[in-house]
Amino acid sequence: MIERLLIIVAVAGMIALAWMAIRTWRSHHLRSLARRTPFAGIIPPGRPAVVGFSTPGCVECRTRQAPALARLSANLGDQVTVRTLPASEYPHLVDQLGILTAPATVVIDATGVVRFVNLGFADAEKLTTQVNSIAHPVHNRPDSQTAACQG
């Protein structure tokens, strides 16, 4: 009986370590994007942007993410650029951003730097909070602008 309990604890520990390793890698990967502007030429600079990635067969993209992006655009108006890109037409971005699922959304600051990557559905409230955090940062120090990964 005690052996089974030890096995369960060991497996849970390995899962926790794997999860932490993945989160650390994703955070490091996203910070490395701060040195690049992967959306140059696709999204105009000058204001924050939210880009949604979808696939033709993604029901959640059409039924939940598209309406959330429309609400975000209606709520923030000219303060933010909102676009949806087909993942199949931008495989280099999908790979570069580490997007493994649709829907996915990316929040970009006014200079074109990726600040947030949301894997899976992100509602309009979450996206608004993310856009506001980069449009009106609490601190003006560069380290407070570190990209974050959501998933």
Q: What DSSP element (H or E) covers 84?
A: strand 81-86
Q: What is the pLDDT of residue 147?
A: 46
Position 73 pLDDT exceeds 50: yes
User: What is the C-alpha separation between 126 and 131, in angstroms, rounded?
Assistant: 9
Structural domains of the chain sorted by starting position, each given as residue range(s) with its CATH number in brackets: 2-150 (3.40.30.10)
Task: Give the pTM.
Answer: 0.74
pLDDT digits (tens, 9 = 90+) for 74-133: 999 999 999 999 999 999 999 988 898 999 999 999 999 999 999 999 999 999 999 999
Q: What is the pLDDT of residue 82?
A: 97
pLDDT digits (tens, 9 = 90+) for 122-132: 999 999 999 99
Q: Do 147 and 111 meet the contact criterion of CB atoms below 8 Å apart?
A: no
